[in-house]
Structure 1
């Protein structure tokens, strides 16, 4: 059947539009644009609902993540006159509407060329996270990742390097694999995937934060401090002191989590009682973003990182949140919250599929001292101890009452 204007009976609409003045035509076009806009929203919502995902990052994206705060102000302004702003700056201008619809449907920002390939090229969104749990920190910020060059790792692994100071010294970390402790009731395992991450105030002749890497003084000492504190309260802890760039043949930084996965597997084989796993890192942000002053003392702040690629990420997040909440209650400002990253924003997995009690904790940044990190680690150990001991009480077998 051939459709004609007579068949569709469009003549009344055409006549009305032709007879309408400039104001009427403008109103008609704006009405059609509004209809089209909401149709796009409906289609976008349907497409997003059709995507079945368990990622913490994807679950927090959507309409609210695709628009700015001014978008909602403009929506309110349509009903509340005094909220209206200059039309040229309105979110509902033609350019902004098209930009929003495109970004909402594709998750690509037309005004950011990097976003066109960021979702396909790992590493381009390293500094982008989704905040799962906020904190009371007065300097909120996202964790910053930095991939050191092979030259930096090689230079800062030189035998001539010596630490400037070692406040509250612990056992000096070795550059070769160390045997794990003798088998026993060890329930906590501490390791450092990026074992060379270090701190500028402790390094001699190093001033560039991008070069804050060392095989002699680094996050391994922070991990050792944590292990010692857990041992003090009766929680058996095993600590790996492996410096991967020094022991792995043809070491490649992007494969760091493959190396540490082998460490995890060896640890469980030697210690079947292990149930909690802590991967200690150091952030790469500026000092103002990794430091808080409490009672006239400076403390390194901590981030909890959850891998969105892990299908069981919620269990890891629940474990991290128990520790985070204790820190929030007892030492507000120490924790920077819990952040999630996908494989496009980091490793995305962090070996957290190994166990629901495996979490990544970043302590301080390149501008913090070991002393500041130790102070924080002492509080972190208290929080971890409380979580583990409470879990033991809950899981303890019930004692039969005597008759």
Structure 2
């Protein structure tokens, strides 16, 4: 998802960095740089329709790539820096939170298991990096109903730097490597 809570630090760059780090670890990763905000404007839709638009992208990716094993949907949180930052080994990292939709009746158990697995590994390897798993009581499935291994992750906040976000992305890539190798 291409959120621009803070336009100079577009969250798309964070997704591109994750893709790059995974490819470095010999995990074939694809990245979408689709500008969802522009698509919303072009269709004269408000932000509440973001997942309708991104659903099209996820479906296209699934149709083109039958071997996909994991989809990561990255967003930027809206919390202030003092809540979105943690110091690990003397360096600032951004905290992450994983969301699971209760409205996802198709793959709820798988989505929850994936979120808990990623969260537990993040915390085991880097205590304090995750703010946990949050179950969302909303009618929105966040597209988790169209693929069993889709993780929705918020990374940092609008006041965090790309450097802080990239440090965290490296940790997420390490966790994904560990989880996918098990």
TM value normalised by structure 2: 0.93
Q: Tell me how large the CA RMSD over aligned residues is.
A: 1.3
Deviations 1:110-167 (A, max 9, x none): xxxxxxxxxxxxxxxxxxxxxxxxxxxxxxxxxxxxxxxxxxxxxxxxxxxxxxxxxx
Shift of 1:244: 1.4
| Cα distance between partner residues in 2 of 1:251 and 1:348 | 16
| Cα distance between partner residues in 2 of 1:286 and 1:221 | 20
Q: Which has the larger radius of gyration?
A: 1
Deviations 1:348-400 (A, max 9, x none): 3101011120110000001111100000000011001111121xxxxxxxxxx
Shift of 1:321: 1.4
| Cα distance between partner residues in 2 of 1:243 and 1:274 | 22
Does 2:61 match 1:254? no
Aligned to 1:330: 125
Structure 2 stretches of 5 or more lacking a match?
none
Q: Is the 8 A contact 1:244 1:251 kept in 2?
A: no
Matches within 5 A, 1:221-236: 221-236=13-28
Q: Is the 8 A contact 1:301 1:364 kept in 2?
A: yes
| Cα distance between partner residues in 2 of 1:267 and 1:314 | 23
Does 2:147 match 1:355? yes
Aligned to 2:80: 286
| Cα distance between partner residues in 1 of 2:122 and 2:3 | 27
| Cα distance between partner residues in 2 of 1:386 and 1:342 | 30
SS in 2 for 1:372: helix
Q: Is the 8 A contact 1:282 1:366 kept in 2?
A: yes
| Cα distance between partner residues in 2 of 1:251 and 1:228 | 32
Aligned to 2:95: 301
Structure 1 stretches of 5 or more lacking a match?
1-191, 199-211, 391-403
Q: Is the 8 A contact 1:197 1:281 kept in 2?
A: no
| Cα distance between partner residues in 1 of 2:170 and 2:177 | 11
Deviations 1:179-210 (A, max 9, x none): xxxxxxxxxxxxx1xx1334xxxxxxxxxxxx
Does 2:25 match 1:218? no
| Cα distance between partner residues in 2 of 1:231 and 1:337 | 26
TM value normalised by structure 1: 0.43
Q: Is the 8 A contact 2:9 2:162 kept in 1?
A: no
Kindly indicate which of the two structures has a greater share of residues assigned to strand.
Answer: 2
| Cα distance between partner residues in 2 of 1:197 and 1:317 | 27
| Cα distance between partner residues in 1 of 2:61 and 2:158 | 29
> Measured at CA, do residues 355 and 364 of structure 1 come closer, stay the same or move farther in structure 2, by a change above 3 Å?
same
Aligned to 1:389: 181
Moved beyond 6 Å, runs of 4+? none
Shift of 1:288: 1.2
Shift of 1:287: 1.0
Shift of 1:274: 1.1
Aligned to 1:269: 63
Aligned to 1:197: 4
